[in-house]
Amino acid sequence: MTSDITLADKTIIVTGASRGIGEAIARACARAGANVVLASRKQEGVDAAAATITAGGGSALAVACHMGQAEDVTALFGRAAEEFGTIHGLVNNAATNPYFGPMLAIEDSAFDKTIEVNLKGPLAASRGFAGQAPAGGSIVNVASVAGLGAAPLQGVYGMTKAALISMTQTLAHELGPMGVRVNAVAPGLVETRFASALIQNEELLKHVVERTPVGRHGQPDEIAGAVVYLLSDAAAFMTGQVMTIDGGWSSG
């Protein structure tokens, strides 16, 4: 048992790791001592992020993987195991939000894509992880404050994040007996390409910032530390939980 927040001797897979929150998590895991497997759809994107880690003395492997495609997810675990052996941690971070508007007007294709990437992907990856996870293994799902309540104009995206929180709670119960923990983080507005439409819209940004106690939006590194903690043995008594990291936005 340890209270130290370290990932030494562990291998962690991070999906959606080529930029934004996923890249910040991958770098933080490497700084904490882990071998990191970075996955996203575009090989060049994860290659660049992995190169930054290895240039700093860290250990990284870049694998192209579309989280909506089951065969890609299976191949990701095969490649990661071939390189590093046992995988100790999984961060389900990749997600998509192809539609912004009233929930009832979403087209079937956008609905299906959101479900595939945001839910089927994390479920398939959790299955791949659990099939080989050692006691002490840890899954961290990147949810959103959009999954904690109403998400106007992002309804189906918010619905997938609420379901991801439910998946977190259920898998915590189902995998707990194996010694595998499952937690989630729920970020508020964070400056990434994903959130650029919101952040560049002055009126929307003002609306968010005005009800945020810290008076600003967040940066990817401000999410990464919590994820490293949840992956580490310092969080050994924590499972089935959601850590909200939103500058206080959801506090009232």
Ligand X SMILES: NC(=O)c1ccc[n+]([C@@H]2O[C@H](COP(=O)([O-])OP(=O)(O)OC[C@H]3O[C@@H](n4cnc5c(N)ncnc54)[C@H](OP(=O)(O)O)[C@@H]3O)[C@@H](O)[C@H]2O)c1
In the bound state with ligand X, the residue whose beta carbon lies nearer, of 42 and 176, is 42
Q: How far is the CB of 135 from ligand X (least distance, A)?
A: 27
Which two three-digit tokens encode residue 22?
Answer: 């996923």
Rank residues 20 and 89 by Cβ distance to ligand X and give the closer one: 20
CB-nearest residue to ligand X: 20
Assigned token pair, 42: 């575009």
Rounded Cα gap, residues 53 and 51, in angstroms: 5
Smaller CB distance to ligand X: residue 181 or 246?
246
Q: List b or e across 11-43, with b for residues whose CB sees 16 or more CB atoms inside 10 angstroms.
A: bbbbbbbbbbbbbbbbbbbbbbebbbbbbbbee
Q: Is 157 a catalytic residue?
A: yes
Nearest approach, Cβ of residue 195 and ligand X (Å)? 4
Contact 107, 204 (CB under 8 A): no
Name which of 35 and 93 has its Cβ closer to ligand X: 93
Smallest separation (angstroms) from ligand X to the CB of 4: 27
Q: Which stretches of the chain bind ligand X, using CB under 6 A?
A: 15-22, 40-42, 45, 65-68, 93-96, 117, 142, 144, 187, 189-190, 192-195
CA–CA gap between residue 108 and residue 219 (Å, rounded): 33
Q: How far is the CB of 184 from ligand X (least distance, A)?
A: 10
**Tokens 């294709």, located at residue:** 109
Token code pair at residue 185: 């983080």
Cα 28 → chain centroid: 13
Of 84, 99, 129, 157, catalytic: 157
Which residues are part of the catalytic machinery?
Answer: 157
